[in-house]
Structures are given as structure tokens and as C-alpha cells.
Amino acid sequence: MPAEPNYTGNPRALYSLWTLFWLLMIAVAVQDNISDPYIKWWEPFVWECSSALMATVWLVLQQRRSHRYDQFLSQPLKWFGLHMAWLPVLAVTFIIAVYAIRHAIYALAHDTYEHPSWSFIFMYETVKLTLFMALWLAIIFGFKSFSLWKQERERLLQIQKHLAESQLAQLKAQLQPHFLFNALNTISALMQSDVERADRLLTRLADLLRTSLTVGSRQTTSLREEWKLLQLYASIMQERFAGRVTISWNASDEALNASIPAMLLQPLLENAYKHGVERSSETVTIRVDARREGAELRVLIHNTGELRHDPGSGIGLRNCHERLALVHGDRARLTVAPLDGGVAASVTLPYEPFHA
Amino acid sequence: MMRVLIVDDEAPARDKLRRWLSTHADIEIVGESTDGLTAAAAIDTLRPDAVFLDIQMPGLSGLEVAAQLESDTAPLLIFVTAFDEHAIRAFDLNAVDYLLKPYDRDRLEKSLHRLRERHGGPKTRSAVHTARAQTRSSERLLVPRGEQLELIDASAIHWLEADDNYVHVHTVSSNYLVRRTLNDLLEQLGERFVRIHKSTAVNLAEVARLSPLFKGDHEVHLRSGATLRLSRRYKDALFARMPR
């Protein structure tokens, strides 16, 4: 069976509660009939134990087979409805089996099991079973919801932990010594010759730091915001590597409205600079494309040059992989592969419009 | 007069250095290079007294350029880097200076002061040696090919032959003439090569067999078919390294 989420919760706790419940039922039945001279001492045991046996068979069945209803835990009425649909089958099998057992045991004891007419029994037991089933479904529902809530909370904590890590990695990358100090040196150099340009670059660097600090505290953002951040980063790199890189941007309005994990793309663009531009004396062309393809958003960052595997570049990429997997599971993909005489980093994720 | 070469892949960074250096009457900027390979070629042809060498560059890093220089004739080096890299800390400040980007004018003046002090003084060789230890310089050798320089794998070299101030580097397909001494090359390339004569060294992996001549002399036969003379003086050292 595939790794389906399983919200059994704590089966041992449930079965303990179940055992306790039936012990109580037996005790009450014995207590009730102990002073009745027409009822032998073992009779309440037979009644309760036969009921307990059949009820347990159904509980085990429920525990083993009802995982397919787990997806409806967030819709309690539907969940209860789906379970209660089994009531007719349960009632018929329960009554037949329980009364068969009782008659058999009485026969073995050379006695007869006397009870009201079958139509009355059927009505009476069905009403009892309905109440009984509703009570226990409520308890099981409680157990399952609790374990679902626990798992959800754990997943949320994991997402938050990864986000915090990636924020940190992101900040480190943006405040990455090489990037920051090189940008500062470029400003320091430009200041001597072109004050306007130096001022512009300094402002952009400040914008980039500010934006990454504010975006960094959110989990998802619109591609439009992410796009701005990428262009800011690119414009700083453009000053440093003037003439050695041309970059083109191509995104539909629809794509820009999409929601995307915050700061997912920048490490990919950084890689294009690190492995494309900084390693090559020739002019490198970078292409950043985003478009909607049906139910998916696809972002492609392509640079000319060859694919290099660097021990250093893995961390940023791995972080992107993990964040995509956490937020979208296997509905999102990230690949870095040779394409059109260059290298392309491609991100595909479910298209969802961004609501601030 | 001190002849200086500027090496940096970023134009604004070169502009800044040129602007500040050109205000000094005793400094002549002889050239500017934008990547490691052209920097190495420029050092070879222009023979500057000092080089401002950026570390992070396309092709060949500043450290790798330094590692491929002939240690006796290498110019004075000032590494320029954006980050206090681990590698840079290995350098002895007496042998080389380094500038951390961004630097101000005072800091550059200090570097120039150190340069002037050492210029004309006794050469220190440890900058090149440290660079060799910091990079995998025994794996690759920078050789001239026409007007250009290129890197070849050290494992592709069959044997080395000294010729005055030059060394012939023999590979399977080519024969490169490198303007360096055999001693200096062997120092860079390390264990892989063994000297068999005053003017010859072989790649140990290329030795096919030895055949004795009379009086204790031997001939060394390489896999490529070349036959070289093993002089008595280097015999024991070679035998000790040969697999049995």
C-alpha cells in the first residue's frame, strides 16, 4: 500500500478504553440481575460477552478498513454519514451472530434462551446499536482528529523550521561576503568617476537588503514581488559585469499573479551568475521566463555556458528542493539540466493566484 | 620606476586601481588583464615588477595564476579580494600583501609603501610557493600554445627536458616550450615526476621498463616509445620509486 496518511492515532488507548467500557457493561449487567432469582449467575455474562465479542469484531474491522474515510476528517458530517451507512449491515450481522451465540450456549447448558418476539428484538437492538455506534464513532473521531491535528502541527512546524533556515541561508547568500563586498567595491570605484551611477547602485543594494528582510518573514509571495527582487539583484550584477552579461525577462501577467514560496528563485539566478558569468570571459546570456501552463506555473532560468557541479552550489539548490517539497509535496518539481547549449534551472509548481 | 600590471575581471574595480595608481609618479601601469589566462600571458610577456591580482576570476583564479609562475622570476604580488578567504590567510605578509575590497586610499598607500620597500630588494619566493600549496598546482601546468596559454593535465606529460632557461614539455601529441627552469617545474609538479638526468625528468607512470647498459648506466624506455638516458647519479632515486 502506498504511504497514505494514517490517522489511527493511538490504537492502544482506544482498545483500553473499549475494554474498560465492556468490563463496566458486564459489571452493571451482573449487578442488575444478581438479586433476580429467575436469572442464573452466568446469564448476564453470556449476554454481555456475546455482544462484546461481535462489537469488537466490528471495531477491529473499522480500525483496519476505514482509512479511506480519513480524507473526510475535516468534514465530520460526511465522515459520520459514510460510517453510519454501514449500520444496516452491522445491525443484521450483529443480531444474527449474537443471538446465535446465546442460543448455542444456552443449549449447551441444557437451558433455553427466552426473549421477546424477533420483530421486537430487531427494533430494540437496532435502536441500541445506533446509539452505541454513534457514541463510539464520536470517540474514534476524537482520537483520529487529535492525531490528524498533531501531524498537521508537526508538518507546520517543519515548514516553519525550513523557512527559518532558508531565510537564514538567503540572508547569508544576500549578505554573502563576495556579493556584498564586491558590490561595495563597485560602488567605491564608481564614486570616483560617476557619482550618479554610484548613488543608484548604492540605493539598489539598500533596496535589495530591505526587500529580502521583509519578504523573508513571509512564507509565500506573489511572483510579481519575487520578480522585483530578482531584477534588483540582476541590476546590481549588471553594474559589476557590464558588457559580460545580457539578461532578458519574460513573464505573462497571469504568471506574475501566481503565488510562490518566498525567495525560492533567487538562489537559482545567483547560480546562473556564479557558474555562467563569473566563470566565463565571454558574454553570457541569461533568460528568465515565467508562464502558466494549465494548472501549473513554470519558471525557467537559463544561462549560456556549461553545466558545472560545484560542491559549494549544492546548499542553495538543496534548500530550494526542500522548500518546494514541503509546500507542494510531489506536485512541484525543480531540475537543473543542460538545455539549448546552456544550463536551465526549471521550477514547476501548482498554479495558485496570490492573495495578499 | 615600478612597472605594474592590474588584473581584475570587473571594469569598475580596474578603473579604481588605475585612477589611484596613476597619481603616483614612480608607478607605470604596463597593462590590464581581465581574466587569469591573459594575466599569466601578460606577466610572461610584459614582465612587470608588481601585479595587483584579483582572486575571483573566470578561467583561472588569481591564486592559480600565482601558482603557475616561476618562483625565482615572479613579480611582487598583491592579492585583491572581496572576502577574507581562508586561502589568503596562508600568505605571509612579508612575502605578499593583500587588499580587501572595498579598500580606501590609505590602505592602498600602505600596500604601495610595502611594494617600494621590497622592490629592488632580495626576492622572496614564498608567495608562489604558498599559492602552489593552496591550489592543486601539481595537477595542472600552464603552457604556451601559439600566442595563447593553456592548461594541460600533469598526468598527460610524458617527460620534461631542460634546455637552457626553457623546458620542453613532452605530451602524447605535443611538445611545449615553457620558459621556466626544470627545478622550478619539478617543485610545482611534485611526486609524479622523477629526475633521471641533470636535464631530464620522467612521469613515473609512463616508464615501461629499464634496460642496463655497461658500467651501471641504464636506459629508460617510456610507454610512448621514447628512450632516455638514466645517469648513475639519479639511478638509486629512480629505483627506489619504481614498482617491483
State the DSSP string of A200-269: HHHHHHHHHHHHHHHHTT-SEEEHHHHHHHHHHHHHHHHHHTTTTEEEEEEE-HHHHTBEEETT-SHHHH
- To the nearest whole number, what is the mean pLDDT of chain B? 89
**Rounded CA separation A163/A151 (Å):** 18
pLDDT tens across B177-228, in order? 999 999 999 999 988 999 999 999 999 999 998 888 877 788 999 999 899 9
- Residue type for B1, please? M
Query: A3 — contact with chain B (CB < 8 Å)?
Result: no
Quote the minimal CA–CA distance from A213 to chain B in Å.
Answer: 23
Are B11 and A188 inside 8 Å of each other by CB?
A: no
pLDDT at B54 over 80: yes
Pick the closest to residue B10 from B57, B45, B44, B46 (CA basis): B57
| A287: three-class secondary structure by DSSP | strand
pLDDT score, position B93: 66
pLDDT score, position A173: 55
pLDDT at B57 over 60: yes
Burial of A111-150, coded b for 16+ CB within 10 Å and e otherwise, reads: eebeeeeeeeeeeebbeebeebbeebbeebeebbbebbee
pLDDT at A131 over 80: yes
ipTM of the prediction: 0.74
pLDDT score, position A211: 79
Quote the minimal CA–CA distance from B141 to chain A in Å.
Answer: 19
Q: What are the two backbone dihedrals, phi and then psi, of residue A41, each rounded to the nearest 5 degrees?
A: -60, -30
Q: How confident is the model at residue B146 (pLDDT cuts 50, 70, 90)?
A: confident
pLDDT tens across A290-336, in order? 999 999 999 999 998 876 655 445 666 777 887 788 788 888 999 98
Q: Is A154 exposed, middle or buried (0-12, 13-18, 19+ CB in 10 A)?
A: exposed
pLDDT score, position A312: 47
Query: A283 — contact with chain B (CB < 8 Å)?
Result: no
pLDDT score, position A248: 95
Query: B190 — contact with chain A (CB < 8 Å)?
Result: no
pLDDT score, position B18: 95
Answer for the pair B142, B40: CB distance below 8 angstroms, yes or no.
yes
Of A180-184, A212-216, A311-315, B159-163, highest mean pLDDT: B159-163
- Residue type for B35, please? D
pLDDT score, position A22: 93
pLDDT score, position B124: 62
Answer for the pair B202, B189: CB distance below 8 angstroms, yes or no.
no
pLDDT at B112 over 70: yes
CB < 8 Å to A178, chain B: 56, 82-83
pLDDT at B15 over 60: yes
Check residues B227 and B125 and name the one with the higher pLDDT.
Answer: B227
B10 vs A177, A240, A279: nearest CB: A240
Burial of A298-308, coded b for 16+ CB within 10 Å and e otherwise, reads: bbbbbbbbeee
Angle, in degrees to the nearest 10, between helices A177-193 and A118-174: 40
User: Nearest residue on chain B to A190, judged by CA atoms?
Assistant: B12
Q: For chain B, what percent of residues have pLDDT higher than 70?
A: 94
pLDDT at B3 over 60: yes
pLDDT score, position A338: 86
Rounded alpha-carbon distances, angstroms, from residue B191 to A226, B182, B187, B188, B241: 52, 14, 9, 9, 10
Parallel/antiparallel/unpaired status of strands B166-171 and B50-54: unpaired
Angle, in degrees to the nearest 10, between helices A195-215 and A177-193: 150
Cell numbers representing residue B113 in the block: 609603501
pLDDT at A54 over 60: yes
Of A176-180, A320-324, B21-25, highest mean pLDDT: B21-25
Contacts of B214 (CB under 8 A, 6+ apart): none
Does the pTM exceed 0.90? no
